[in-house]
Amino acid sequence: MDISVLNSCLAIITLVLGAALIVYMYQAYKLVKQQSILLLMYGVFIIIIGIVLPDIVALFFQETFAWFWAEIFSRCLAIIGICVIIYSILRG
């Protein structure tokens, strides 16, 4: 199996599981109406996008320059997502 096919499959699995987690978090938010759960959901969403961003970029662009900046932006998204999650915990 080609490594790019494996990366694409793992990215799709990550997106599907992340989407399921976000749906469950939104259902919890609708029940309790706490802003901290909504912020937690946003943080998880940002982290999931950051996780799969390099794989998505690798599907569309073949140059190393795009991969490099996708990796950098991916790390930035993960840091932002973690900060949002920490803020949601401290605020709640």
Model pLDDT for residues 11-37, shown as the tens digit of each residue: 999 999 999 999 999 999 999 999 999
Judged on CB neighbours under 10 Å (0-12, 13-18, 19+), 82 is middle
**Euclidean distance between CA atoms 15 and 10, whole angstroms:** 9
Given a cut of 90, is residue 58 above it in pLDDT? no
How large a percentage of the chain has pLDDT more than 70? 99
- Ordered DSSP codes for 19-44: HHHHHHHHHHHHHH--HHHHHHHHHH
Given a cut of 90, is residue 79 above it in pLDDT? yes
**Euclidean distance between CA atoms 43 and 86, whole angstroms:** 9
Q: What is the mean pLDDT of the chain?
A: 92
Q: What is the pLDDT of residue 1?
A: 62
